[in-house]
Amino acid sequence: MRAAPTILHLDMDAFFAAAEQAAKPSLRGKPVVVGGLGPRGVVATASYEARRFGVHSAMPMGQARRLAPNAAYLVPRFAFYRAISEQVMELLGRLSPLVEPLSLDEAFVDLEAGGAADDGPSARATGERLRRDILATTGLTGSVGLAGSKMIAKIASEEAKPDGLVLIEPGTERELLGPKSVRILPGVGPATGEHLRRAGMTTVSDLAEAGEDELVRLLGRSHGASLYRMAQGYDDRPVVAERDAKSVSVEDTFDVDLHDRVRIRTEVERLAERCVRRLRGSGHSGRTIVLKVRRFDFSTLTRSETLRGPTDDPVVVREAAARLLEGVDTTGGVRLLGVGVSGLADYTQEDLFAQAEAEAGEGFTEEASAAVAPAEAEAPGPVERRWAPGLDVRHAVYGAGWVQGSGVGRVTVRFEEPGSAPGRVRTFLVDDPELEAADPLPLVGGGATGAAAVAQACARPAAGL
């Protein structure tokens, strides 16, 4: 715990949805929901306008549509979000060498390590300047929390939402935490929260009053002792600049349960290819291959195989995943499949490439690869794959726009750009030769740097997203 509030937590406001609103003038001030659009898709982010209808992240997309039928429902554009995130992280890096990214839109910063602040007034001034710089650079808003620990700084940023700053002075942590729900503490999810509720503990002050011994009895030595310290307001975790990835994985939930064993294997091989692209994009290799299967009854199985050494070879990963599948009973249907690689390293072992050639045999031909590749898109058919709502397009006559929707052989496009007025809508045949997919345009305020970041992000491999 620090004597000055020099740990900063930044959380961008409704990041994916806000980025879409900034890029699409006709959506500003309107409810926007970003996520998987299939029957089993889930909400990734909802704009604040959509949240007023009860829509929130991780909600099934079908439920979101019932709550907010008139919202704009868009597929994610991760390369676009990553480009914006890199601009934000660059601003954080100017404040301190100790920046700990948690996701594309969230990070901790040690202001003291960078000399950006050493007391409350200087920390507040730094936080306000950061918010102004983010708005000027990206056109988006972020909420800032400042405190003497990571836990309290994160709580402060949540209280600051949207588009605000909250500073919590060191020494006031227990008073702040006492009346709040136990769920506010890190590591207290629904299951632990329910377990504590049954024991009569619903607020943080209840935990503090129960004492360490009681929490250890209920939750075990490690979790109980940690939770007691947090209930006292103690958190001495440092801001860590490098957060090493422990694993890389991809998964798909299918609109209709898969029953055909050949189709299931094909999907596993496709996921393995995507996983390897993401693995290589992160600059890693790995030695443990993991298969995840969620069956029709929602039971989930995981199987793993550890290789002799780390690899980033797609044939090795693909064949290992296929071998793992052989040991899984898929009778009754499969709802979800996933492939992951753990035990990550930053090098590969050459002999595994030879091993791959020997083991591959006739298991995967160029024709099979070509047949599988189109299935990577989220939607089931070529029209939806190419013209998913929210994706960028360019028309030879009308210029840049984005897809509002498609069906029955036609695609509807709204022609507008981040800095323009709301644009007009036009409809074309899905195979119109003058209409093509395009890279995202940078947001207004991003300037040349923003344009370069978007172009660079969009040139990268899909990374399984």
Instruction: Provide the annotated active-site residues.
Output: 106
Of 287, 252, 308, 229, nearest in space to 41 by CA: 252
Q: Which residues have a Cβ under 8 Å from the Cβ of 23 and sit 6 or more positions away?
A: 80, 402, 418, 440, 441, 443
Which residue do the tokens 């969620």 mark? 294
Distance, C-alpha 169 to centroid of its chain: 31
Sign of the CA dihedral 432, 429, 409, 62? Answer: positive
Of 387, 385, 389, 454, nearest in space to 418 by CA: 454
Of 262, 256, 310, 317, nearest in space to 285 by CA: 310
Contacts of the segment 357-361: beta carbons below 8 A, 24+ positions apart: 357/315, 359/315, 359/316, 359/319, 360/315, 360/319
The two tokens of residue 50 are: 């959509």
Q: Are 411 and 435 in contact (CB under 8 A)?
A: yes
Helix count and strand count (H, E) for the chain: 17, 17
182, amino acid identity: V
Distance CA 61, CA 152 (A): 32
| DSSP letter (8 states) at residue 203 | B
| DSSP letter (8 states) at residue 60 | B
Count other C-beta atoms under 10 Å from residue 414's C-beta.
19
Distance CA 74, CA 187 (A): 31
